[in-house]
Structure 1
Amino acid sequence: VDNIFVFLLIFSRFGVSAELQKHALMIGILGAIVLRAILIFVGAALIQRYHWILYFFGAFLIYTGIQMVRAPNDEGDFESNPLMRWMRGHLRLSKEYSGAKLSVVKDGVRWYTPMFMVIVLLAVTDVIFAVDSIPAIFAITEDPFVVLTSNVFAVLGLRALFFLIAGMADRFHLLNYGLAGVLVFIGLKMLIADVWKVPIGLSLGMVALLIGASLVASRFLPRTD
C-alpha cells in the first residue's frame, strides 16, 4: 500500500496521463519483480549460510518503522535521486512524451522520453521503498519459493489496487503510522523468534488492529501540516 503513494508521486511529478499510467505500471512492475527476485535469492542464500542475519533483518524493520513514524510522508526528492542524476548525466533525455514509446530517434540521435524515466523509477523505487517487505516475509518462512511467489503476487496486486486506492490516498493520511507499527511488530517478532514464536492468529490480529486503527483514526482526526 505504501508503494502506491510513491507511484502517485512519480506520476504527478512527471505529468503522466491516466491513459499512459496503465502502460507504465505494467512495464515498471515487471521490472520490479525481476529486481525483487534477485534480492530474494541473495537474502535466502545469506540466511542459509548465516542464520544470525535474521536478527539483522529484524533490527532493520524496527529501524524502518521508527523512521516512518518520524517522517511518515517523506517520499524523497526525485531531482536529487542518484538514479535521476545518473540518467541526466549519461543519457539524452527528452522533455516531451511520444505516446508509450521509451525512446525516439531525432536527426539520427536517440533520445529517451519521460516515459522511460518513469518506468525506471517505478521499478527501482519499488525495491527501495519495499526493501522491508522481503525481510518481513522471511519472518514467516525461509522457503525462497514461497517468498518469491508471495512477492510476485503482491507486486501484481499493486497494479490492480493502484486505481482503487489512488482516489482514496488523501483520505487515509495516518496509514503510514499503521504500516510503521506493523514493521516494528514484525521486527520484534523476528528478534524473539528463538525464544518465543508468536502464534499466527496473534500476528494477524496485531496487523489487522494496527492497519485498521490507522484507517479509522484517519477518518476522525483532521490532517495537520
Structure 2
Amino acid sequence: MSNELLFFGGFLLFIILMLAIDLGLFSKSNTAVSFKQAAIMSAVWVAFALGFYVVLRVWGHELHDIQDFARLEEVTKKHLHNIRLIPDDFIASLSLYKQNLALEYITGYVVEYALSVDNIFVMVLVFSSFGVPTQYYHKVLVWGIIGAIVLRFLFIFLGAALISQFGWILYIFGIFLVYTGIMMFIHRNQEEEIDPQNHTVVKFASKYFSVYPTFVKGKFFHAELGKKYVTPLFLVLLVIEFTDLIFAVDSIPAIFAVTKDPYIVFFSNIFAILGLRSMFFLLVNIIHKFHYLKTGLSFLLVFIGSKMLLHDWLTAWGFTTSHSLIVIVSILALSVIASLVFPKKEETSI
C-alpha cells in the first residue's frame, strides 16, 4: 500500500509542478499563445505521456506493490486484466502484466485525447460567443484544467468503486456510449450555438453573484466602490468547467471499457486533459478542416460501448488490448485522412 501511495503521490506532485510552471510562465503576461508555443507544448505533453508509458512498462508492478505471484493474480482478477498468467513463471507473468498495463494506459490516453478534440469544438464556440479576447484564452484554460482534474479524480474513483460493487453498471455504460455515438453521428452536421445571456450556467451565476458588465484585464474578480463583482471571464470559466463535466460523462465510461484499474484510468485521463490546452491553440484555427472527425468519434464511441457490452465474448475470441488500440487508431486516422482528402466545400454566397 505504501508503494501505491508513493507512486500515485509522485504522479500528483509532477502534475502540480507542471501546472504551476505553466501558469506562472504564461498567465501573468496575458498574451495570446502563438502556434509555435502551442506546437512545442503539445510535443512536450505527448512526450511526457509516452514517457509515462515507459515508466509503467518498467515499474508498473510497483503501482500495486506486486512482489509475488499470489499478489499478481489478485490484482489481475480484481481489475479484469485480459492476460493469461503462467503459474510456474512469475517473472514472465509479471512481464505480461506490465506490458498489458502500459498498453491499457496508452490506449486509454488515445481515446481520451481523441474525445478531447470534440471538447475543443465547444470551447471555440464558447470563447467566440462570449467575445473573449484571445490573450485571455490561456488563463481560462489552465484554471479550467485544474478544475477538470479535481472533477475527474472524483468521477473516476467513484466510478471504480461502483463498478467493483455493481458489475452490471458496465452494461449501462456500454448502452449509454452506443447511444451517445449514434446521436453524435445523427447530429454530426448540426451547427451548435451558445446564447451567453440565456446559458444555464450564466443564469445560475447571475442569480448569486454581481456580474461586472465588461472584461477587466484578464481578471476573474473586480472590486469597485466597495462592491465585489465577478467578471464575464469568470462566467466563461464556469461554462468551460460545466462543459468538461458534460464531456466527462462520455469520456470516463469510455475509458473503463479499456481498463478497470482506476489509477490507469486517472493517469490516461489526466495526461489527455493536460495536453488539451496546447492542442486547443494548435487546432483553434484549423479544426474546422477536420469535418469528418465527429463522424470518427461517433464510430469510436459505438465501438467502445459495444466492446463493453460484448466484453466476455470478445475475451473468449482472443480480442486483446492491442486489438482495441489498433481499431481505435484506425478509426481516428481514417477520419483525419478523409477530412484532408475530401475537404468540405466552402459555402458561396451569390
CA contact (8 A) 2:144 2:241 kept: yes
Distance between the aligned counterparts of 1:76 and 1:31, measured in 2?
A: 24
- Among 146, 156, 166, the alignment partner of 2:274 is 156
Task: Give 2:161's aligned residue.
Answer: 45
Distance 1:52 1:76, change over 3 A: farther
Partner SS for 2:312: coil
The 5-angstrom pairing of residues 67-216 of structure 1 reads 67-72=183-188, 73=190, 75=192, 77-79=194-196, 80-197=198-315, 198-216=319-337
Give unmatched runs, 5+ long, in structure 2: 1-116
Deviations 1:124-164 (A, max 9, x none): 21120232110111111111111112111110010121111
> In 2, Cα distance between the equivalents of 1:81 and 1:16?
16
Normalised to the residue count of structure 2, the TM-score between the two structures is 0.61
- Say yes or no: does 1:222 pair with 2:339: no
Unaligned 5+ residue runs, structure 1?
none
| C-alpha distance in 2 between matches for 1:207 and 1:22 | 30
Q: Deviations over 1:97-141 (max 9, x none)?
A: 111211111222211101101111112211202321101111111
Contact 1:173–1:223 (8 Å) recurs in 2: no
2:130, 2:236 within 8 Å by CA — same for their partners in 1?
Answer: yes
The structure whose Rg is larger is 2
RMSD: 1.7
Q: Give the Cα separation in 2 of the matches to 1:159 and 1:6.
A: 13
Identity, % of aligned pairs? 43
What is the deviation of 1:217? 2.0
What displacement does 1:190 show?
0.4
Alpha-carbon separation, structure 2, partners of 1:74 and 1:30: 29
**What amino acid maps onto 1:40 in structure 2?**
I
| Greater RCO structure (CA 8 Å; 6+ sep) | 1
Q: Which residue of 1 aligns with 2:50?
A: none
Partner of 2:181: 65
Matched AA of 2:202: M
Task: Work out which of the residue numbers 18, 21, 27 in structure 1 matches 2:143.
Answer: 27
Structure 1 CA distance for aligned equivalents of residues 191 and 247 of structure 2: 11
Shift, 1:224, TM fit: 7.8
Give the letter aligned to residue 109 of structure 1: K
* Shift >3 Å, 4+ stretches: 73-81
Does the 8 A contact of 1:20 with 1:100 survive in 2?
yes
- Partner Cα separation in structure 1 for residue 209 and residue 138 of structure 2: 25
Give CA-to-partner distance per residue, 1:168-196, whole Å, 9 cap, x none.
11111121010010000000000011222
Q: How many residues align?
A: 225
Cα drift, residue 16 of structure 1: 1.6
Alignment-mate amino acid for residue 167 of structure 1: N
Match of 2:80 in 1: none
- Bigger fraction of residues in helix: 2
Deviation of 1:221 after TM superposition, in Å, equals 4.5
Contact 1:103–1:110, Cα closer than 8 Å, also in 2:
yes
Shift of 1:75: 4.2
CA contact (8 A) 1:29 1:122 kept: no
- Alpha-carbon distance change, 224 to 135 in structure 1, aligned in 2, over 3 angstroms: farther
Amino acid at match of 1:192: L
Give the C-alpha shift of residue 74 in structure 1: 5.5
- 1:64-101 Cα offsets, whole Å, 9 max, x none, are 10111111246463544322221122221122111121
Cα distance change, pair 76–48 in 1 and its aligned pair in 2 (3 A)? farther
- Aligned-partner Cα distance in 1 for 2:219–2:181: 38
**Which TM-score applies when normalising by structure 1?**
0.93
Contact 2:259–2:265, Cα closer than 8 Å, also in 1: yes
